[in-house]
Amino acid sequence: MDRRPHVLIARDDIENTVVRLASEICADYQGRHPLLIGILKGSFVFLADLIRHLDLPLELDFVTLASYGSGRKSSGKVRAVQGLRTDIRGKDVLVIEDIVDTGLTISFLLDGLRRLKPASLRLCSLTDKPSCHRVPVSIDYLGFSLPDKFVIGYGLDFNEEFRYLPDICVLEESE
């Protein structure tokens, strides 16, 4: 049995969507100086592409969160691995995520950030699997809604592999 990446969202579609999200964000944050917080590791490719289309003065920080061990199913438990270095009090915070699946990871982070009293707190996620949510999540800037399939590429991994693929793919089993 062989497992091959099969393209679900091609690089050109991703690029057009990144440009669309950047223009929505630029329009909403005119005259402000947002702090973008990328969730590592998965969002690093998306964040790197997104910020180069944002014509705004901005700051960046990162957090590492983990809910998945290895494999495809969420453990349902989220643990903070590495925290923020920036004081977010009074700042316009925009969290950048690669994918929302059960929503547990992002809810955990947003709840924690809200307690630190930012001036505003919004979420931008490249992808979402709405049929998998286990808690309500509201995504202010969304790229793509996905079916309940495990995806890889464009920063997303399966057991730390495939992050380098330029397209968003599913792993298909073939003989």
Residues binding ligand IMP (CB under 6 A): 39, 42, 67-68, 74, 97-106, 150-152, 156
Is 101 part of the annotated catalytic residue set? Answer: yes
Structure tokens at 30: 């005119």
- Angstrom distance (rounded) from CA 40 to CA 65: 7
Identified catalytic residue from 101, 111, 128, 157: 101
- 38 is a contact residue toward Mg ion (CB under 5 A): no
- Say if residues 94 and 36 touch (Cβ distance below 8 Å): yes
CB of 43 to ligand IMP, least distance (A): 8
- Angstrom distance (rounded) from CA 71 to CA 79: 17
Q: Name which of 56 and 132 has its Cβ closer to Mg ion.
A: 132
CB of 59 to Mg ion, least distance (A): 21
- Choosing from 38, 42, 103, 143, the residue that interacts with Mg ion (CB under 5 A) is 42
Which positions are catalytic?
Answer: 101
